[in-house]
C-alpha cells in the first residue's frame, strides 16, 4: 500500500487540485542553502528587545537563565550573573516562517459567501503551515554556517518552500487546499479545524505533492489515539523514506493542560528534529517553538498567526515566491505563555531524516516517559498489542464538546 499513490477518492473530491498542482521544486538533488548577506531581512534589534522584555518583564518576577528553541539550547546570562540575551537565540527565532491571517486572496471554492480571508477561522491552518514549513526546511535545506553568519539568511531554496504556502490554489499547501481537503473530513470551508483534522489534511496534501516531486519523498504518519506503531512506520532499510510524525494529543480534561504533563512537553523541545507544538488556546491556535526558564518556572515561546491580517501572499506568474514578500513571514513580536495557561488540545511533531534518527527518537522518548505516569504518547511494536498503559490513556468518560476529534492522553 504505497502511501504516495494518488488515491481516486482524492481526485474525485478535488480534481481541480490535481489540475493546478505544479512541480515548483524541479532540481534533481537535495538543494543546499548558502548564506548571502544581501538576503538578510530580520530586524534583530526588534527581536532582541522583545526577548529582553520576556526574560525580565515589567511587574513579573521572572528572569530566564536559559532557553530551548526546537532542539537547540541557549544560555541567557553570563557566569557573573549579568543578564544578556543570546544573539543566536534571537536569530533562530527570527529565521522561522510565521504565517498569519491574510486577506484579499482569490475566493476559496465551496465557500458561501465566497471567502477571501481566513481571519477569524484559519489560525489552526496557519499554525499547521508553520509546523510543516519547518519540517520542509529541515528536509531540504542544508545550512553551511560559519562563525558570525546569521541563520536567518536564506537563498532561493527557502523561497521555493515559501512558495508552496502562498495564498493561491496553485500552491500545494495554501489555505485554499487545506480548507478544501477539510471538506472531505466533514469541515465546511470557514470552520475551525482541530489538531486531528489538521494533521490528516496535511498528511494527504504531502502525499499528493510528494507524488508530483518524484524525489526525496516524505511520509507523514498521524498517530492514532496518541499511539505510534513501529511496524507501520519502520519497514526495511531499503523502504525507508524521511518521515514527519504528527501526534494529536489531549493533556487532560480540564480547561488547562494538566500540570503533570508539563515536564514531558518541555523536554520535547530538547530533541533534534522536534517540530514544535500547535494549538494551546481554546479555539485559538498558536505555534510553540521553545521555552524560557528560570530556576522555578517556564514560559513557552510562540509565533502568533493572529497578530496581523496581512495582504494575501501571492507568487509571481510562474508560481515563484517574491523575495520582497519574505519580510511578511518573519516574526518581530515573539510572545510567551505561562505553562499554567496552556490549553490541553495540542499537536506535536517530529522530523526523522533517516531510520537511525527514527530509532533514536523512539528510544529517547520511551526513556523520557518511563519515569512519569503522564507520557505524552506511547509506542507499540504493532497494532493490537494488549499492554499496560498509564491511567491517563484510559479515561473513556472524557468528552470535549469544543472539539470531538481530540484524543485524551
SS3 content of the chain, % helix, strand, coil (to 5): 35, 20, 50
Which of 291, 333, 276, 289 minimizes the C-alpha distance to 67? 291
Q: Which of 155, 306, 332, 400 is catalytic?
A: 306
Could you say which of 304, 343, 352, 378 is catalytic? 304
Q: How far is CA 269 from CA 87, 283, 349, in A?
A: 19, 24, 11
Residues ≥6 apart with Cβ < 8 Å to 164: 24, 133, 136, 171, 172, 173, 209
Report residue 5: phi and psi, to 5°.
-70, 135
Asked if 158 and 329 touch (Cβ cutoff 8 Å), the reply is no
Query: Under DSSP, is residue 267 helix (H, G, I), strand (E, B) or coil?
Result: helix
306 is catalytic: yes
Question: What residues have CB less than 8 Å from 381, skipping those under 6 apart?
Answer: 229, 230, 231
352 is catalytic: no
The x, y and z cell numbers of residue 133, run together, are 514549513
The enclosing H or E element of 286 equals strand 284-293
For the purposes of burial, counting CB atoms within 10 Å of the CB of 286, is it exposed (0-12), middle (13-18) or buried (19 or more)?
buried
Q: Is 304 a residue of the active site?
A: yes
- Active centre residues (catalytic): 123, 304, 306
Amino acid at each position: 500500500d504505497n502511501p504516495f499513490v494518488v488515491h481516486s477518492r482524492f481526485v474525485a473530491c478535488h480534481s481541480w487540485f490535481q489540475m493546478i498542482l505544479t512541480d515548483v521544486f524541479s532540481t534533481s538533488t537535495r538543494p543546499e542553502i548558502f548564506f548571502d548577506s544581501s538576503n538578510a531581512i530580520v530586524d534583530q534589534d526588534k527581536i532582541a528587545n522583545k526577548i529582553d522584555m520576556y526574560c525580565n518583564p515589567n511587574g513579573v518576577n521572572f528572569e530566564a537563565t536559559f532557553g530551548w528553541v526546537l532542539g537547540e539550547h541557549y544560555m541567557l546570562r553570563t557566569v557573573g550573573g549579568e543578564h544578556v540575551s543570546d544573539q543566536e537565540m534571537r536569530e533562530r527565532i527570527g529565521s522561522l516562517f510565521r504565517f498569519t491571517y491574510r486577506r484579499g486572496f482569490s475566493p476559496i471554492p465551496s465557500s458561501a459567501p465566497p471567502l477571501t480571508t481566513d481571519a477569524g477561522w484559519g489560525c489552526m491552518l496557519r499554525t499547521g503551515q508553520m509546523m510543516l514549513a519547518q519540517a520542509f526546511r529541515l528536509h531540504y535545506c542544508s545550512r553551511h554556517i560559519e562563525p558570525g553568519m546569521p541563520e536567518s539568511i536564506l537563498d532561493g531554496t527557502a523561497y521555493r518552500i515559501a512558495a508552496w504556502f502562498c495564498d493561491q490554489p496553485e500552491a500545494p499547501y495554501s489555505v485554499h487546499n487545506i480548507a478544501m481537503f477539510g471538506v472531505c473530513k466533514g469541515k465546511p470551508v470557514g470552520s475551525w479545524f482541530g489538531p486531528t483534522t489538521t494533521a490528516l489534511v496535511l498528511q494527504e496534501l504531502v502525499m499528493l505533492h510528494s507524488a508530483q516531486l518524484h524525489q526525496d519523498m516524505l511520509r507523514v504518519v498521524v498517530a492514532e489515539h496518541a499511539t505510534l506503531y513501529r511496524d507501520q512506520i519502520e519497514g526495511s532499510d531499503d523502504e525507508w523514506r524521511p518521515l514527519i510524525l504528527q501526534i494529536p494529543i489531549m493533556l487532560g480534561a480540564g480547561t488547562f493542560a494538566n500540570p503533570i504533563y508539563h515536564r514531558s512537553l518541555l523536554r520535547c523541545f530538547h530533541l533534534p528534529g522536534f517540530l514544535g507544538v500547535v494549538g494551546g488556546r481554546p479555539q485559538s491556535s498558536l505555534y510553540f517553538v521553545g521555552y524560557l526558564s528560570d530556576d522555578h518556572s517556564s514560559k513557552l515561546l510562540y509565533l502568533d498567526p493572529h497578530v496581523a491580517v496581512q495582504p494575501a501572499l501571492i507568487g509571481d506568474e510562474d508560481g515563484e515566491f517574491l523575495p520582497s514578500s519574505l519580510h511578511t513571514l518573519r516574526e518581530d513580536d515573539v510572545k510567551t505563555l505561562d505553562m499554567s495557561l496552556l490549553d490541553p488540545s495540542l499537536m506535536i511533531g517530529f522530523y526523522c531524516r533517516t531510520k537511525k534518527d527514527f530509532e533514536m527518537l523512539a528510544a529517547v522518548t520511551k526513556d523520557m516517559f518511563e519515569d512519569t505516569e503522564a507520557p505524552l504518547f506511547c509506542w507499540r511494536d504493532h497494532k493490537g498489542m494488549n499492554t499496560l498503559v498509564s491511567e491517563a490513556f484510559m479515561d473513556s468518560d472524557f468528552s470535549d464538546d469544543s472539539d470531538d476529534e481530540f484524543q485524551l492522553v
